[in-house]
Amino acid sequence: MKRILENLLIAFALALCALCAVQWVRESRLHVEIKKLHGTIYENKENIRSLEGIIKDLKAEVTRLDGIKIELTETIKTNRQEIASLTKYSEKLEKDVETQKSQIEVYKAAMDKANENIKAQNETIRKQNEQLKQLAQERNDMVEKYNKVVQQYNDLVKQFEKLQADVAKQPPAPAK
């Protein structure tokens, strides 16, 4: 009986060793898995940090672009007001040209050219509304065109005033 108990004790000891070996292998695998998970968590945290930085940059860029959009929208409004006032003034001058058509035929062509320039500006403004991405460059072009038109328009007004002065100096034409 003593021999059976010893063998039984040895069997239990061997079984316990086998169980410890199995648990040791399982624990080592689990440690490897935990290391992988820690690495994944670290990578995810790094990704989150970089994405948060990108989001912060994008928010700043959106805010900047919104400011530019508001500024350009205000510029468009003022340009429209100026164009409207120039259009009204141009119409008034056209009426004067019609009453004195026989004397200022050359100036009529210049007025038509000024009207074409104003229409070109209106078309440019419509295109600006459709193409916001190119708005800054087109705005610079529009200001340049506008300056040319204003210069031409001022020259036209000076010529028109000179013509009025010449007409005022001439005696009235005899009635037919």
pTM over 0.75: no
Domain residue extents for the chain: 25-166
Look at residue 97 in the predicted model and tell me its pLDDT. Answer: 67
Q: What is the 3-state secondary structure (H, E, C) of the chain?
A: CHHHHHHHHHHHHHHHHHHHHHHHHHHHHHHHHHHHHHHHHHHHHHHHHHHHHHHHHHHHHHHHHHHHHHHHHHHHHHHHHHHHHHHHHHHHHHHHHHHCCCCCHHHHHHHHHHHHHHHHHHHHHHHHHHCHHHHHHHHHHHHHHHHHHHHHHHHHHHHHHHHHHHHHHCCCCCCC
Could you list the pLDDT tens digit for every one of the 176 residues in the chain? 789 999 999 999 999 999 999 999 999 999 999 999 999 999 999 999 999 999 999 999 999 999 999 999 999 999 999 999 999 999 988 888 677 666 656 566 777 887 888 888 888 767 756 666 666 666 778 789 899 999 999 999 999 999 889 888 877 666 65
